[in-house]
Amino acid sequence: MATVGYRQTDTTLVLSATVVERLDEAELDAVLAHELAHLVNRDATLLTLLSLPAAKATNIVGWGDSHPLLLLVLWPVVLPGEASAALVARHREYLADHAAARLTGGSAALASAPDALDGADSAPSTDLRERDHAAAFDIVPPSSERSVRTDDLERLRVAYWRLRRRLFGTHPPTDSRIQRLRQLG
């Protein structure tokens, strides 16, 4: 599930079949309220503006065939850009959770929804949230453990994405969000 668009008048709310199938009616209402809070607060616009410099620099560099000096020049753009987008996105998630709890009259349904979605079995083999700068627009954080193989290169990749998620993750840990929602009552 994601809210995509720059202006409130032309924003699209995207729902996957998995979201509709896995959530009960109260959870779905709570998740929709969460996404509507993002829409009202123009989070997509803000996070797009924050993510754009890092995304452009990453596209220029390509991280494979580029000259090392280009990497040195653009790294100071990528690191602060990703860090600021991650910090703002995490805070906006908590704000959207709080707004959804107020809008729906309670936090119980929203507290159970991320947990239900976090373990979705029908995930694609490639998690695109790990590759682009759109992860800030999803309700569930990226998961680097979905298709773990046993070879050393794959373990290194998983370790890299776990560290990256911890440092630059766009969503607070699901457990932290659930705990905060339960405290709201």
Higher pLDDT pick, 164 / 112 = 112
pTM to 2 decimals? 0.70
| 3-class DSSP state of 177 | helix
Q: What is the pLDDT of residues 58-100, one digit of tens each?
A: 777 665 566 677 777 777 877 888 888 899 999 999 999 999 9
Q: Which residues pair with 12 in a beta bridge?
A: 4
Cα torsion 165, 167, 170, 173: sign: positive
Which amino acid makes up residue 19? Answer: V
Mean local confidence (pLDDT), 116-124:
59
C-alpha–C-alpha distance, residues 22 and 69, integer Å: 48
CA quadruple 21, 27, 28, 32: dihedral positive or negative? negative
